[in-house]
Structure 1
Amino acid sequence: MTESMRRTRILVTGASGGLGGALARHYAAPGARLSLWGRDPARLAAIADDCRAAGAETQVRSLDLVDIDAALAALAAEDAADPFDLVLLASGRGDVRGPGLRVEEAAMVARLGTINFTAPAALAAAVAGYMAERGHGRIVLVGSAAAFHALPFAAAYSGTKAGLARFAQALRLSVRGHGVSVTLVSPGFIDTAAGRKVPGPKPMLMRPEAVAARIARAAERRQAHLVLPWPFAVLRWLDRLLPSPLRDRVLLGLTPPEG
């Protein structure tokens, strides 16, 4: 970590998850000031202890981003008390169509819409406004490589991540003249506890610590979009280049993960 980052005020959402926890630990260092949000109080406390042991000043907030009003109020209060320099929105949820179902359950689609798109987009918009007023700041939105593909067995997940990707692009353009950067991260498969619960093959599985380090470098460089590992960027372009009828046949031929 650079000396400037050691003095940075940082928010990590999804900090009780595998990637969010890895990001928190990556930034933990003497002088760092961390605010960690997560749904799992016990795991959040354990990660906070690790960060404090590394010398970081650390506070935690246990909440579920489904309650968007509460999350926005918490963000406003924390930013007013001690403004954020870097916000990493790493919360999210993955899911696939259940065995025997033709489509995903409506309740699950609604929940993923809130967790994967509405909540992080609203938080990013709010903090981008605060940062633009100050004339500086960095925002990271963690999406997914699944956003590049219309996955029939994970329509809600791929769809919500696609929406977040387009939002991140638009937000980046709207605030780049005000000293604020927005970085979209589109990772492939990450070896986390939540990820292991999702059935099916996971090619090119990445360690969360390695992903966190790559994200930190991208944020430091104010990179617009980070896709990792690199073969997923190639798959993104192949999806775009295929004629629609051929793309549809390929996607329909994908085998849903077995439950």
Structure 2
Amino acid sequence: MTQAVVVTGASHGLGAALARHYAAPGVALGLVGRNAARLAEVADACRQRGATVETAEIDVRETARLGDFIRGFDARHPVAVVIANAGVEAGLAPGRRSEPDASVLAQLRINLEGAIATVSPLIEPMRGRRAGRIVLIASLAALMPLADQPAYSASKAGLVAWGEALLAWLRRDGIRVTIVCPGYVATGMSGPYRGARPFEWSAERAAAHIAGRVARGRAWVAFPWPLVWLIRLGRLAPRSVRAAFIDRFLRFEIDAPAA
């Protein structure tokens, strides 16, 4: 029986690595991305691994087009796993000035609204089948909001909250929800980033780790452990201590705004 997997943000970085990880004979992949050329390269690599692949050049902010593609793909290949991975990040403007409005809105619409728009068309079909896995790619920034990334932190925290609500709602319908909070992953988004990236993982390592935990039905996936524990300890410390140590440890700048 064919297993169908949908991945957004599949044209580069973690999304591309996830697509390649799942690609195998007997797997149908629905890949969504904004860069047509890179998406085609990922699709070709997945086909070489034996997967059946359908692609769609769609910005996840295009809710109607995205929903049409996902519903159509599900009609042809009932989706077993949907991975809402598409995301962008940005930070404060130069000189630590406020984030531009356009950048703030892009992060909220892509990271939060885009994830909801990806998953929502599949909820009722999955409930009808009483099977399915929903994977939301959030961030450790949702657990420890970063002073240099207010909008990004908010968008990922909102995604975590939505995922927790889905966990409570859908658990009796046979649908498993996995909320993923990665630390630093080497992706295309990290290019304009200037600052420390402690315990950074490759996209391939992160993809394999996420897929393994999803297969086991884990509700929460957070990595790498040294950074996760640093955040947990930081949440127990007074705000003044966090500001003096953890926030300074994670200080950075991002050159290019989200779009």
Settle same-fold status: TM greater than 0.5: yes
SS at match of 1:257: strand
The one of 63, 72, 84 aligned to 1:77: 72
Q: 1:80-159 to 2 correspondence within 5 Å?
A: 80-159=75-154
Which runs of 5 or more residues in structure 1 are unaligned? none
> Partners of 2:141 and 2:24 in 1: how far apart?
33
Aligned-partner SS, 1:55: coil
Residue equivalent to 1:13: 8
Indicate which of 44, 47, 68 corresponds to 2:63.
68
8 Å contact kept, 2:86–2:114? no
**Deviation for aligned residue 1:100:** 2.1
Change (3 A) 1:72 1:242: same
How big is the shift at 1:235? 2.4
Structure 1 residues 219 and 255, CA, compared in 2 at 3 Å: closer, same or farther?
closer
Equivalence for 2:24: 29
Which residue number corresponds to residue 190 of structure 1? 185
Q: CA deviation at 1:93?
A: 0.6
Question: For residues 240 and 176 of structure 1, what CA distance do their matches in structure 2 show?
Answer: 28
Structure 1 residues 211 and 252 mapped into 2: Cα distance closer, same or farther (>3 Å)?
closer
Identity among equivalent pairs (%): 37
Distance 1:81 1:107, change over 3 A: same
The change in CA–CA distance for 1:95 and 1:129 in structure 2 (over 3 A counts) is same
Q: Check the 8 A contact 1:191/1:207 in 2, yes or no.
A: yes
Tell me, yes or no, if structure 1 residue 257 matches structure 2 residue 253: yes
Between 69-78 and 169-178, report the one with greater CA deviation: 69-78
Q: CA RMSD in A?
A: 1.8
- Measured in 2, the distance between the counterparts of 1:39 and 1:62 equals 5
Q: Tell me the number of residue pairs that the alignment of Structure 1 and Structure 2 aligns.
A: 254
What are the ranges of 5 or more consecutive residues in structure 2 without an aligned counterpart? none
In structure 2, what is the equivalent of residue 172 of structure 1? 167
> Which aligned runs of 4 or more in structure 1 are off by greater than 4 angstroms?
248-254
Which residue of structure 2 aligns with residue 44 of structure 1?
Answer: 39
TM-aligned CA deviation for residue 258 of structure 1? 6.8
* Secondary structure, aligned partner of 2:221: strand
For each residue in 1:129-176, what CA deviation from the matched residue of structure 2 results, as whole angstroms up to 9, or x when unmatched?
A: 220111000011101111112212100111111111111111111101
Query: Alpha-carbon deviations, 1:40-82, whole Å to 9, x = none?
Result: 1000000100011111111111111121222122222222232
Residues 96/106 of structure 1: CA separation in 2 closer, same or farther (3 Å cut): same
Q: Which has more strand, going by share of residues?
A: 2
Using structure 1 for the length normalisation, give the TM-score: 0.92
Is the alpha carbon distance of 1:172 and 1:125 closer, same or farther for their aligned partners in structure 2, counting shifts above 3 Å?
farther
Residue type of the alignment partner of 1:76: R
For 1:90 and 1:78, locate their aligned partners in 2 and report how far apart those are by CA, in whole Å: 17
2:182 is the alignment partner of 1:206: no
Deviation for aligned residue 1:125: 3.0
Give the structure-2-normalised TM-score.
0.92
Conserved in 2, the CA contact under 8 Å of 1:17 and 1:91?
Answer: no
Label 1:225 to 1:258 Cα distance change in 2 as closer, same or farther (>3 A): closer
Q: Which residue, 218, 230, 237 being the options, matches 1:242?
A: 237
**Aligned AA (1:74):** F
- Structure 1 residue 118, shift from structure 2 partner: 0.9
